[in-house]
Amino acid sequence: MKHESIDRAKLHHYVGGQKVDGRSGRFGDVYNPALGAVMKQVPLASEQEVKQAIQAAADAFPAWSATPVGRRVQVMYNFRELIRKHMDELARLVSSEHGKTIEDAKGSITRGLEVVEFCCGIPQLLKGEYSASVADGVDSWGMRQPLGVCAGITPFNFPAMVPMWMFPVAIACGNTFVLKPSERDPSCPLRLAELMTEAGLPENVLNVVNGDKEAVDTLLTDPRVQAISFVGSTPVGEYIYHQGTAHNKRVQALCGAKNHMVVMPDADMQQATDAVMGAAYGSAGERCMAISVVVSVGNEPADALLEKLTPRLDALKVGPYTDENAEMGPVVTPDAKNRIESYIDKGMEEGAILVRDGRGLQIAGHELGCFVGATIFDHVKTDMSIYREEIFGPVLCIVRVESYEEAVRIVNEHEFGNGTAIFTKDGDTARDYCNRIQIGMVGVNVPIPVPMAYHSFGGWKRSLFGDHAIHGPEGVRFYTKLKTITSRWPSGIRAGAVFNFRQGGEH
Q: What are phi and psi of 94, to 5 degrees?
A: -65, -50
The residue count of the chain comes to 507
| 431-471 per-position pLDDT tens digit | 999 999 999 999 999 999 999 999 999 999 999 999 999 99
pLDDT digits (tens, 9 = 90+) for 310-365: 999 999 999 999 999 999 999 999 999 999 999 999 999 999 999 999 999 999 99
The DSSP result for 34-99, as a single string, is: TTTEEEEEEE---HHHHHHHHHHHHHHHHHHHTS-HHHHHHHHHHHHHHHHHTHHHHHHHHHHHH-
Q: Helix, strand or coil for residue 421? A: strand
* pLDDT number for residue 3: 37
Q: How many angstroms separate the CA atoms of 95 and 89, rounded?
A: 10
Secondary structure (3-state) at 273: helix
Answer whether 22's CB lies under 8 Å from 43's CB.
Answer: yes
Please give the helix or strand (H or E) that residue 199 lies within, else none: none
Q: How far apart are CA 110 and CA 152, in angstroms?
A: 20
Distances (CA, A) of 250 to 144, 223, 480: 16, 12, 10
Helix (H, G, I), strand (E, B) or coil at 159: coil
Q: What is the pLDDT of residue 5?
A: 39
Q: Cα(220)–Cα(202) distance, rounded to whole angstroms?
A: 25
How far is the C-alpha of 111 from the C-alpha of 124, rounded, in Å? 21
Alpha carbon dihedral 6, 9, 10, 12, in 10-degree steps, equals -160
Q: Rounded to whole angstroms, how far apart are CA atoms 422 and 408?
A: 10
* φ/ψ of residue 241, rounded to 5: -60, -50
Give the predicted TM-score (pTM) of the model.
Answer: 0.93
Catalytic residue (choose from 150, 255, 288, 397) = 288
State whether residue 343 is helix, strand or coil. Answer: helix
Q: Are 297 and 403 in contact (CB under 8 A)?
A: yes
Phi, psi of 423 (to 5 degrees): -115, 115
Q: Are 203 and 177 in contact (CB under 8 A)?
A: no
DSSP-derived secondary structure for 352-415: -EEEE--TT--BTTBTTS-----EEEES--TTSHHHHS---SSEEEEEEESSHHHHHHHHHHSS
CA torsion 386-390-394-397 (nearest 10°) is 40
Spacing of C-alpha 276 from chain mean position: 21
Residue 461, pLDDT score:
96
Alpha carbon distance 120, 172 (integer Å): 8
pLDDT digits (tens, 9 = 90+) for 260-312: 999 999 999 999 999 999 999 999 999 999 999 999 999 999 999 999 999 99
Rounded CA separation 169/124 (Å): 13
Q: What is the largest CA-CA distance in the chain?
A: 90
Q: Is 150 a catalytic residue?
A: no
Three-state secondary-structure class, residue 278: helix
Q: What angle do CA 285, 290, 295 make, to 5 degrees?
A: 115
Helix (H) or strand (E) holding 337: helix 334-350
Alpha helices per DSSP H over 120-229: 161-172, 187-198, 213-221
Strands 18-20 and 13-15: antiparallel
Average pLDDT per run of 10 along the chain, which is 507 residues long?
54 97 96 96 98 98 98 98 98 97 97 97 93 92 96 97 98 98 97 98 98 98 98 96 98 96 97 96 95 98 97 96 95 96 98 97 94 98 98 97 98 96 98 97 95 92 95 96 93 61 48
Q: For residues 378 and 363, give the distance between their C-alpha atoms in angstroms, rounded to a whole number.
A: 26
* Calpha distance 158→181 (Å, rounded): 10
